[in-house]
Every structure is written in C-alpha cells, then in structure tokens.
C-alpha cells in the first residue's frame, strides 16, 4: 500500500523525499562499454535485450541461461522464470513499447509489443505494477512468437 495513502490520516506533514536516482535503473545505451545484454530466442524470433542495472537484473543474470515456454496475452509475450524477486522503484502499471518488465508476483518476464486485453485506447496496461528490467529495439519482431514456442534467455556473446 502506498505510504502517502497511509499518511493522509496522519496530522504530521509528509516528509519530502529527493527524487529517485534515475541512473540507478536506467537502461545503458546500446554499444556502451559495460552495458548488460542478453539474447532472447522464442521459436524463430531472436532479439537482443539491453538490461537495466538493478538488483532484479543481477539476480536474473546469475540465473542464466533460462528456458521456458512463451505465452501470449493480447499483444504481449510473457514467460515464467524461476526467480522470486520483489517490486522495486522502477515498477509501473502502464508499459511502453520496447521495454521489458518483470512481473514479480507471478515470476514472469513480460515483453509487450502492443495493447494487452486490459489496455485502454492508446496505452499498454500491464497486469500489475512490473519492474522495468530492460529494453528491446526490435520489439515488433515479437509478433512472430507463437503460443508454446520454446524460450531461451542467455547472455549475449560478442
């Protein structure tokens, strides 16, 4: 439950917090030295993912390689991962095309390439607040992923 909601009933003035350090969860630019990259293969589709630098991503990298099965949900592909992680400051309910999300409650990675069944016009609504863990440039390629395609997530070599 958001802390501000709990503070409404309190007579004490809410404490101001400095804005979150955006560099803590930004996705490194492609090709920059030290950027974290993984390759996602789902059926015949292969895309590169630039990862953010967060605790969730560090845990994900430690668990690689991962294997799963693709499950479509509207214009979003998701798959299960064997990690139990918590929500962080990057979590958002409305997604952006090209971003990669970690749905912590269900231990799934979400890859939206269009609206989901619960989206309103002009938005990409996620099933719950999800951590931003990376970015895909070629997100439109995800349209080629079919239900039950084998998913393989591994470190990018190069």
pTM of the complete model beyond 0.75:
yes
Tokens of 59: 């845990």
Residue 86 has pLDDT above 50, yes or no: yes
Query: Confidence band (pLDDT; 50, 70, 90) for 156?
Result: confident
Query: Confidence band (pLDDT; 50, 70, 90) for 157?
Result: confident
Burial tier of 18 (Cβ tally within 10 Å: 0-12, 13-18, 19+): exposed
Regarding predicted confidence, which is higher, 34 or 62?
62
Q: What is the mean pLDDT of residues 62-87?
A: 96
Q: Report percent pLDDT > 70 for the chain.
A: 77
Contact 118, 147 (CB under 8 A): no
User: What pLDDT does 36 receive?
Assistant: 83
> Tens of pLDDT along 117-133?
999 999 999 999 999 99
Rounded Cα gap, residues 13 and 139, in angstroms: 44
Q: What is the mean pLDDT of residues 82-109?
A: 96
């Amino acid at each position: 439950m958001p802390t501000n909601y709990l503070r409404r009933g309190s007579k004490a003035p809410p404490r101001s917090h400095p804005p979150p350090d955006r560099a803590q969860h930004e996705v490194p630019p492609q090709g920059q030295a030290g950027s974290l990259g993984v390759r996602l293969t789902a059926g015949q589709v292969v895309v590169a993912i630039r990862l953010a630098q967060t605790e969730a991503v560090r845990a994900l990298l430690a668990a690689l390689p991962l294997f799963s099965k693709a499950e479509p949900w509207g214009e979003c592909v998701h798959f299960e991962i064997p990690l139990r992680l918590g929500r962080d400051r990057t979590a958002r309910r409305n997604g952006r095309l090209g971003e990669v999300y970690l749905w912590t409650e269900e231990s799934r990675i979400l890859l939206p390439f269009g609206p989901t069944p619960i989206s309103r016009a002009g938005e990409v609504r996620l099933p719950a607040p999800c951590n931003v863990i990376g970015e895909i440039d070629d997100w439109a390629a995800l349209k080629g992923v079919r239900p039950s395609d084998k998913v393989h997530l591994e470190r990018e070599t190069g």
